[in-house]
Structure 1
Amino acid sequence: MMHAAALLVTALLFGGMTLFAFGFAPFLFSALPADTTRAVIRRAFPHFYLFVIVTAAAAGLTAFAGDELAGGALVAVALTAVLARQILMPAINRATDHGEQRRFARLHGASVVLTLVHIVLSGGVLLRLAQ
């Protein structure tokens, strides 16, 4: 039962992150003016990270019982998402607000890489749990 729950919650995590990163955000940039899109994205990211934190923690805790490596990877996703939400995201917003384009680019790049790492880790765990 716990294995099935871990598999389903990990699938939700993987799907949610993938949809946000490759569907929702690009759609907004193509459908709305840039200023509007930036405001919407800024408001959406705290919710996105909260989704990742809660879902990854739930998936990790349920996976841990049967697969410590899978559980640990998902808990690592949750913990690094906390850091991204509480430290990285506010730093990106400050760089934007102060017109620090280089700092913004560096921090935004870090957040993109982190999100891709989260997607890859959750995908790997998903495949591992599906076997």
Structure 2
Amino acid sequence: MNDESLTKYAGGCLCGAVRYAPTAPPLMEGNCHCRDCRRVSGGPYAPTLFFALESVNIRGDVKYYESIGGSGQPIRRGFCPHCGSQLFGRPSMRPGMIGIRAGTLDDPAAFQPQVDIFASHAAPWDRMLDTTAKFDTSPPAP
């Protein structure tokens, strides 16, 4: 993938104070249904693109809040301290990865979910896509 095709994965927060631009394609794209992700997203799941941490350039001040994810291990969630947009997830169980919330992409249509993770934690009213692989908990590392 060339740099031009990666621009579809660029994005930022609501106020523009934080911007990011990956230098490599995502390792995985999916919806996380764990209770922690549902709570932080305010929806039935957190749509997330997972990248190698070193492949994402972040500009701006990001604040992090740590909580316990569906895995039972800590996850650091990055947000803009100005507008509150939740942008990133840094799960301790995958130290070399960063999750980027699909809704913060400049072009959210670039998000193409391949998996549903922590599907066993999904709300009973949640309807998952028929086209995604389902994992009761976390999938094997990409």
Q: Which TM-score band applies after superposition, normalised by the shorter structure?
A: under 0.3
TM-score normalised to the size of structure 1?
0.26
The structure with the greater share of residues assigned to strand is: 2
TM-score normalised to the size of structure 2?
0.24
